[in-house]
């Protein structure tokens, strides 16, 4: 078992989450009355029956908010409680408090909401036709599509040139569904109003400062009177970045109004109905390539279903645009993204943050090319991989490119040509059980796409017994960011790992933090901790030099001993700390880190928004039961670029977890809403997750040879989000098996590939018919690529 300080507590169920915190005296429990239609207007709220239930019951509405009824961070479009209109089914309308959880829930059921129903809008393409966008559309261009470049424009001349040379120009539609986070610990918060009109909130949040600002805004308080703390989270995956905010604010509002502690913890059903998920996308593409399969042009229109409010949609759309080309060098590219407002819960951050949706589109386009050209899609991918020094469509020069290195190593490892022949031979003799395989490359940019967020802070104390306490803005949610930061601190100070403790995250210790998200938790907070540790270390080395009468540049601290040119001196860490204290040397330091050399011109849509990129490749093999329409994953091989990894065991675990989530999104997890805006997959009985039997064999993960990454702490590379992309290989592996069963190319791009869709494709039905059945609607695109009309699901 991994040597983790918290492992035993997790196994014994001793880890303390929000609902395990000892309940303060006078605690009130909170429950919510949720809207039962996707759009409406409150006329009157009748609380009489609810208040008569018990003397402890308190009903709180928008009228009770002492500050501003607004929690939107990027755009002020999200009231905490509706006043008077609500915008999605499952939106909190009323907060109910009572002395027990059961009483609070009973009171919520008794509240009568007199209302007027309004006409909802649920489909992103219909929203685009109406021009109902949260923010104006964005477009990135390069080459022939760059209106500022020589001969730039709509690319018509380029397409004509491609066709004249015997190449192909194809168009298609790609749809990818949403995804439920299913964190083990549901959303929750515990709030208490304390002496001096201070508000203290313990929240299951990935963004302590985001939550602090929102609570202060709602209560009309300065931020220094609001303390927000995040202990260990029972999972997050992006779902607790901005979406933890309303529950913390509601708990704080209840505590402020009642002057008693308030706990609000959502049950699983409420959590699934009332929170946002991964954004569904519907996209149109056009791709042009030579007859040899070299991609020369690519256009894509993303229709992002943003839900009812802005939330994090702009940043997620940014990442989709930045990753439009996937891991490929495409000289002429146009990518346009639209944030389509609908009357569904606001879709939000999810591991991958908009990149998986973009990768799916370009990979589907490549599969379409391969089918038409009669070339193995793996070979087309290999021919178009990024190379050192390539310029992205947004103007960033790439350095340290390892795309081909990872891809070629994977081909060698799995013996691709032999494997392909074995699969074809099997399929020729096993008509009821088909095999399929696919390989997907990866190129994933690391940084927040909102440049001011690329910063981290830390506070480090060395105590007189030599032990060390490190506080940062990083929130521990099972991803072991605390372990990585502890390793950074230990290496930076020169002490054993067990000397270090990483403190829970609080707005009191490190201010103005950014959320633990975008795979930057270790990078930013680890670098800030290193800055603080190196400052303390420099003071201690100076003290040691004075004690030993030696030059500072000859001394080092290694594993708790002062060393001179590799040899131990008589000074150890404990003696040095004692001497430093006697000499009144400061044993505390604050560290701050801001990622250097990032810039982006939003007007020109050009710049270098990422610190670096992570590369890799994955193979997925699948078997298809032709009669039942079910598929199972039988083999996964990954080659991944981790730089000089901080902790290979943690990195391996992160790859396995992200891969499982990616495969779940691609093959199992179908998020479905009814025509009335009701979430149909609203329970774990109706939302299928990967289980312990989902992968028949343990994924084989190989790290590329270590390569020092000078753009992150101690040469490492982020690992949280990039591996989710590998799950897309599962979709294309199953599609490969379906093609073998049908004996012809199948051009169908609608994720996830669940059994109902598989059976529709196997039953002899045309892909367009299956697409029509799976699609959410049949309205036209606002400016689709096929003569202004809807581009069909099948590539033409």
Encode pLDDT of 518-559 as tens digits: 999 999 999 999 999 999 999 999 999 999 999 999 999 999
Q: Which of 347, 301, 25, 63 is nearest to 178 (CA)?
A: 347
CA-to-CA distance for 737 and 438, rounded, in angstroms? 10
Q: Which residues contact 418 (CB under 8 A, 6 or more apart)?
A: none
CA-to-CA distance for 384 and 344, rounded, in angstroms? 38
pLDDT at 201 (0 to 100)? 98
Strands 500-502, 468-472: pairing is parallel
CA-to-CA distance for 746 and 742, rounded, in angstroms? 8
pLDDT at 782 (0 to 100)? 32
The sign of the CA dihedral 691, 695, 698, 699 is negative
Model confidence at 653, pLDDT cuts 50, 70, 90, reads: very high
Which residue is catalytic, options 171, 227, 721, 747? 721
Q: For residue range 577-612, what is the model confidence (pLDDT) as tens digits?
A: 999 999 999 999 999 999 999 999 999 999 999 999
CA-to-CA distance for 367 and 371, rounded, in angstroms? 6
Residue 788 has pLDDT above 80, yes or no: no
Mean pLDDT of 560-583: 97
Q: Which residues contact 197 (CB under 8 A, 6 or more apart)?
A: 221, 225
Q: Is the peptide bond before 84 cis (omega within 30 degrees of 0)?
A: yes
Q: For residue range 378-415, what is the model confidence (pLDDT) as tens digits?
A: 999 999 999 999 999 999 999 999 999 999 999 999 99
CA-to-CA distance for 202 and 384, rounded, in angstroms? 49
Residue 10 has pLDDT above 90, yes or no: no
Residue 332 host element (H or E) = strand 332-341
Residue 779 has pLDDT above 50, yes or no: no
Q: For residue range 461-515, what is the model confidence (pLDDT) as tens digits?
A: 999 999 999 999 999 999 999 999 999 999 999 999 999 999 999 999 999 999 9
Q: For residue range 28-62, what is the model confidence (pLDDT) as tens digits?
A: 999 999 999 999 999 999 999 999 999 999 999 99
Q: For residue range 374-388, what is the model confidence (pLDDT) as tens digits?
A: 999 999 999 999 999
Which domains does the chain possess?
22-120+184-274 (3.30.365.10), 138-179+278-448+608-774 (3.30.365.10), 455-594 (3.30.365.10)
CA-to-CA distance for 122 and 770, rounded, in angstroms? 21
CA-to-CA distance for 739 and 435, rounded, in angstroms? 10
Give the strands of the sheet with 612-625, arranged side by side. Answer: 433-446, 612-625, 630-640, 700-703
CA-to-CA distance for 591 and 585, rounded, in angstroms? 17
Q: CA torsion, points 602, 608, 610, 616, in degrees to nearest 10?
A: 120
Is 669 assigned a catalytic role? no
Residue 789 has pLDDT above 60, yes or no: no
Q: Could you give the count of Cα atoms lying within 13 Å of 454 in the half-sphere of its Cβ? A: 20
Model confidence at 149, pLDDT cuts 50, 70, 90, reads: low
pLDDT at 171 (0 to 100)? 98
Q: Which residue has the tokens 């340290």?
A: 400
Cβ count near 652 (within 10 Å): 19
pLDDT at 3 (0 to 100)? 57
Q: For residue range 209-252, what is the model confidence (pLDDT) as tens digits?
A: 999 999 999 999 999 999 999 999 999 999 999 999 999 999 99
User: pLDDT averaged over the chain?
Assistant: 94
Model confidence at 768, pLDDT cuts 50, 70, 90, reads: confident
Q: For residue range 704-739, what is the model confidence (pLDDT) as tens digits?
A: 999 999 999 999 999 999 999 999 999 999 999 999
């Amino acid at each position: 078992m991994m040597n983790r300080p918290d492992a035993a507590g997790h196994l014994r169920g001793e880890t303390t989450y929000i609902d395990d915190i000892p309940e303060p005296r006078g605690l009130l429990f909170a429950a919510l009355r949720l809207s039962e239609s996707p759009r409406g207007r409150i006329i009157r709220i009748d609380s009489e029956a609810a208040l008569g239930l018990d003397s402890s019951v308190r009903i709180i509405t928008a009228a009770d908010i002492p500050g501003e009824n607004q929690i939107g961070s990027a755009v002020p479009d999200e009231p905490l409680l509706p006043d008077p209109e609500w915008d999605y089914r499952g939106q909190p309308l009323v907060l109910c408090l009572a002395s027990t959880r059961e009483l609070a829930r009973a009171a919520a059921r008794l509240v009568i909401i007199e209302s007027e129903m309004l006409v909802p809008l649920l489909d992103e393409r219909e929203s685009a036709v109406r021009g109902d966008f949260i923010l104006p559309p964005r477009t990135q261009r390069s080459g022939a599509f760059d209106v500022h470049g020589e001969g730039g424009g709509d690319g018509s001349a380029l397409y004509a040139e491609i066709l004249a040379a015997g190449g192909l120009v194809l168009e298609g539609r790609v749809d990818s569904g949403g995804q439920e986070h299913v964190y083990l610990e549901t959303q929750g918060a515990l709030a208490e109003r304390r002496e001096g009109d201070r508000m203290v909130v313990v929240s299951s949040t990935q963004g302590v400062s985001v939550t602090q600002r929102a609570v202060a805004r709602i209560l009309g308080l300065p931020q220094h009177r609001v303390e927000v703390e995040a202990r260990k989270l029972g999972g997050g995956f992006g779902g607790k970045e901005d979406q933890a905010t309303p529950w913390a604010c509601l708990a704080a509002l209840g505590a402020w109004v009642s002057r008693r502690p308030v706990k609000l913890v959502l049950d699983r059903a409420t959590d699934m109905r009332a929170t946002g998920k991964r954004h569904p996308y519907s996209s149109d593409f056009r791709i042009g390539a030579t007859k040899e399969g070299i991609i020369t042009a690519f256009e894509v229109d993303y229709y992002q279903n943003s839900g009812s409010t802005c939330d994090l949609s702009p940043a997620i759309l940014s990442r989709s645009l930045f990753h439009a080309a996937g891991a490929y060098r495409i000289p002429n590219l146009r990518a346009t993204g639209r944030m389509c407002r609908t009357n569904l819960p606001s879709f939000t951050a999810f591991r991958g943050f908009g990149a998986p949706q973009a990768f799916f589109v370009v990979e589907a386009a490549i599969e379409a090319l391969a089918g038409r050209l009669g070339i193995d899609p793996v070979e087309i991918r290999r021919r178009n991989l990024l190379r050192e020094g390539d310029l992205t469509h947004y103007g960033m020069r790439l350095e340290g490119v390892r795309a081909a290195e990872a891809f070629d190593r994977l081909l060698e490892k799995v013996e691709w040509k032999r494997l392909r022949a074995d699969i074809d031979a099997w399929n020729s003799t096993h008509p009821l059980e088909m095999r399929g395989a696919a390989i997907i490359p990866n190129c994933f940019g690391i940084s927040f796409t909102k440049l001011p967020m690329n910063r981290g802070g830390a506070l480090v104390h060395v105590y007189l017994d030599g032990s060390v306490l490190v506080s940062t803005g990083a929130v521990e949610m099972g991803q072991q960011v605390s372990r990585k930061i502890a390793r950074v601190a230990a290496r930076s100070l020169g002490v054993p790992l067990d000397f270090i403790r990483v403190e829970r995250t609080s707005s009191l210790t490190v201010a103005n933090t950014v959320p633990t998200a975008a795979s930057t938790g270790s990078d930013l907070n680890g670098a800030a901790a290193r800055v603080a540790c190196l400052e303390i270390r420099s003071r201690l080395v100076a003290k040691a030099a004075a004690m030993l009468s030696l030059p500072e540049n000859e001394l080092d601290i290694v594993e708790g001993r002062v060393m001179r040119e590799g040899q131990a001196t008589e000074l150890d860490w404990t003696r040095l700390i004692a001497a430093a204290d006697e000499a009144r040397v400061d044993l505390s330091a604050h560290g701050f880190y801001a990622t250097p050399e990032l810039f982006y011109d939003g007007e020109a849509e050009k710049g270098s928004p990422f610190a670096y990129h992570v590369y890799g490749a994955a193979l997925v093999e699948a078997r298809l039961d032709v009669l039942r329409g079910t598929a199972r994953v039988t083999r996964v091989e990954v080659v991944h670029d981790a730089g000089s990894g901080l902790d290979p065991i943690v990195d391996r675990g992160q790859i396995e977890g992200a891969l499982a989530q990616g495969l779940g999104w691609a093959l199992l997890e179908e998020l479905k809403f009814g025509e009335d805006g009701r979430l149909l997959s609203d329970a774990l009985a109706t939302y299928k997750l990967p289980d312990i039997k989902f992968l028949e064999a343990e994924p084989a993960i190989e790290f590329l040879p270590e390569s020092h990454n000078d753009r992150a702490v101690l040469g490492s590379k982020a690992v949280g989000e990039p591996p989710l992309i590998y799950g897309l290989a599962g979709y294309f592996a199953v599609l490969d098996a379906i093609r073998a069963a049908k004996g012809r190319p199948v051009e169908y791009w609608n994720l996830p590939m669940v059994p109902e869709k598989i059976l529709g494709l196997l039953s002899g039905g045309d892909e367009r018919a299956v697409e029509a059945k799976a699609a959410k609607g049949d309205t036209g695109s606002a400016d689709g690529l096929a003569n202004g009309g809807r581009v069909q699901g099948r590539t033409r």
